[in-house]
Amino acid sequence: MALLKAASEYVSFQGGNLIEGYPIVPKMKIMPDVFGWTGVVNTFDRAGFTACPTTSRSRKIVRLAVRPLKRDR
């Protein structure tokens, strides 16, 4: 969760307004790390991301809208 929060703050600070992620849907209780490096869908759900349409059963597409910060350049 902390990494997703930091990412949303960074995108906002850079003037972005949307974050997209591709978390997996775990099929096992214990999953090898190599399959989970993009994150698991429950974490993105708790961070406020919204699921988007996808054809994959194992990977979701999720998005979070953020408010871009105006900053001096």
Give 14-65 pLDDT, tens digit per residue. 999 999 999 988 888 888 888 788 899 999 999 999 999 999 887 899 999 9
Instruction: Give the number of domains in the chain.
Output: 1
How far, in Å, CA of 55 to CA of 43, rounded?
21
Residue 70 lies in a domain: no
Within a domain: residue 71? no
Residue 73 placed within a domain: no
Closest by CA to 25, choosing from 53, 10, 44, 7, is 44
Q: Is residue 60 part of a domain?
A: yes
State the pLDDT confidence band at 71, using cuts at 50, 70 and 90: low
Domain range holding 52?
Answer: 2-65
Give the pLDDT confidence score for residue 35 in this predicted structure: 77
